Chain A
Amino acid sequence: MISGHLLSAEDLTKESALGLLATAKELAAITDGPNKKLPTLRGKSIVNLFFEDSTRTRISFESAAKRLSADVINFSAKGSSVSKGESLKDTAQTLQAIGADAVVIRHSASGAAKRLADTHWIQAAVINAGDGTHEHPTQALLDAFTIKQHLRSSENDLTGVRILIVGDILHSRVARSNVILLTKLGATVTLVAPPTLLPVGVSNWPVEISYDFDKEIANCDVVMMLRIQLERMNDSFFPSAQEYSKRYGLNSSRLRKLSKSAIVMHPGPMNRGLEISAESADDLKSVIIDQVKNGVAIRMAVLYELLGGAPIGAQR
């Protein structure tokens, strides 16, 4: 069980992560039934505090909270007083005054979620839904869940699963959280990217590094494509989109090199034709839609463990 906040995949032990996956599996089974709504978080308020755009993560958290009967307040920076210059502190204190029990925060600044959790601006549980280029722990959990579901459903962890993470590692919070969590669960991770899109210090990460996608693709169980984050491309990281696509994109010829049981993942949103071809995205090996579906169950599990009871240590 986890308690307090969920800010980083580092907050999770192997046991607590596997516990969340097990809880999510049960919740997914329940919500696949005739009645999707559980009374568990009735009366709790959850604020989706989104300073950056999002489709999947926001509706996934909203849907998870609603299936557990919590009240959801959606906040996006556009159209709020943030555009008038209100600070994170004042926004947080406003949410405190309104009585939020949990804040799901996405922010373009790395460390924003931790800042919110460490200061006393707000008492609520803080869940990091992506902070800058730092972390996105619930994405890593839903990816681990999806991999386990497809490749290791009867085993305990992900021991022996070979995972390629391909593309813009430098700007990717998804990659960072996934490397931490997936290696913790026993998987072997290889990062494939042009040198310009690898972060400083990547040699200290518990991963292999490769610049040759064609060489690696035949020997993996999972290929996880990352989005080229055009909004964070303030430098010339590669000569042209065509050249990137040719060397690091998942196209039909690379798709054919994958082993029979291998799966294709993408955290979304996809740039079809850039890092992943439309054919690959829609192939039978693609589990991208499963990732979205599993995201709801994972977020239900996180909300349940953080909000489902009195704080640890409280007596009845």
Chain B
Amino acid sequence: MGVLLSGSDIDRAIKRISHEIIEHNQGISNLVLMGIPTRGAYLAERICNFITEIEGSVGCGVLDITLHRDDLRLRPPKPILPTKLPQGGIEGKDLVLVDDVLFSGRTIRAALDAIGELGRPKSVQLAVLVDRGHRELPIRADFVGKNIPTSISESVKVNLKELDGEDLVELLK
């Protein structure tokens, strides 16, 4: 077991991603964020708070993807979590999806379907705290906290203060 990102690393990554999002979108006028529960939602909120601090208020929502998963029939049903639209909705917006770990890409595929239920944003971008590789679909992130090459047998565990009491990303063998 090894520490991949410490609390301050995570903090710096979130700040850098926030700046990159603002830069890439040339401001925040058409920007909204949506996090994928559970940890992606907390990360989205942190990015939102930081952007609000440095640039101004930006809409932040939560996107549950449970009903769109392609592995639904392979495992027991999971409870549906609340989906919360960002203030002002997503229609015609530049939408940044936020998740903790990008792995197979299947979660993001499901998220793209789930967005389709809610409306039609102008663009969809992806921000993740960790990209660990092993994609099974043609999906990539626009904003990455840290690229971490992993072996398929390892797993990446993201701990966040809001849920786990501390900020830490670790690699489990």
Contact = CB atoms under 8 A, between A and B. Distances in A.
A311 B82 CA distance: 24
Interface in A255-312: 304-305, 308-312
A217 interface: no
B134 to A, nearest CB: 16
Contacts of A316: 71, 74-75
A304 B81 contact: no
B79 interface: yes
A40 B67 CA distance: 5
Given A26-B81, A26-B82, A33-B117, A38 B76 contact: no
Interface of A is mostly: loop
A315 B64 contact: no
A30 interface: yes
Contact of A304 (B80, B117, B118): B80
B77 A304 contact: yes
Interface string B109-149: 00001001111000000000000000000000000000000
B67 A39 contact: yes
A197 interface: no
A26 B35 CA distance: 17
Interface in B15-35: none
B83 A29 contact: yes
Given A26-B81, A30-B117, A38 B75 contact: no
Nearest to B113: A39
| Chain B at the A interface: SS class | loop
B93 interface: no
A309 B73 contact: yes
B77 A309 contact: yes
Interface string B54-87: 0000000000100110011111111111110000
Nearest to B120: A34
Contact of A38 (B73, B74, B117): B117
Contacts of B75: 309-310, 314-316
Contact of A35 (B71, B78, B81, B116): B116
Contacts of A29: 83
A33 B118 contact: yes
B171 to A, nearest CB: 21
Interface residues of B, number: 21
Nearest to B64: A26
Nearest to B117: A35
A27 B80 CA distance: 8
B86 to A, nearest CB: 14
Nearest to A312: B76
A104 B162 CA distance: 42
A38 B114 CA distance: 9
Nearest to B91: A34
Contacts of B81: 26
B77 to A, nearest CB: 4
A314 B72 CA distance: 11
B80 A23 contact: yes
Contacts of A310: 73-76
A85 interface: no
A313 B75 CA distance: 8
A269 B76 CA distance: 37
B123 to A, nearest CB: 19
Interface string A28-57: 011001110011100000000000000000
Nearest to A307: B77
Contacts of B119: 33-34
A304 B72 CA distance: 10
A213 B67 CA distance: 45
18 contacts: A1-B76, A3-B76, A26-B81, A27-B80, A29-B83, A30-B117, A33-B117, A38-B67, A38-B68, A40-B72, A308-B77, A310-B73, A310-B76, A311-B76, A313-B76, A314-B76, A315-B75, A316-B71
Interface of B: 64, 67-68, 71-83, 113, 116-119
Interface of A: 1, 3, 19, 22-23, 26-27, 29-30, 33-35, 38-40, 304-305, 308-316
- In order of increasing CB-CB distance, the 5 nearest A-B pairs are A309-B77, A308-B77, A40-B67, A26-B80, A309-B76
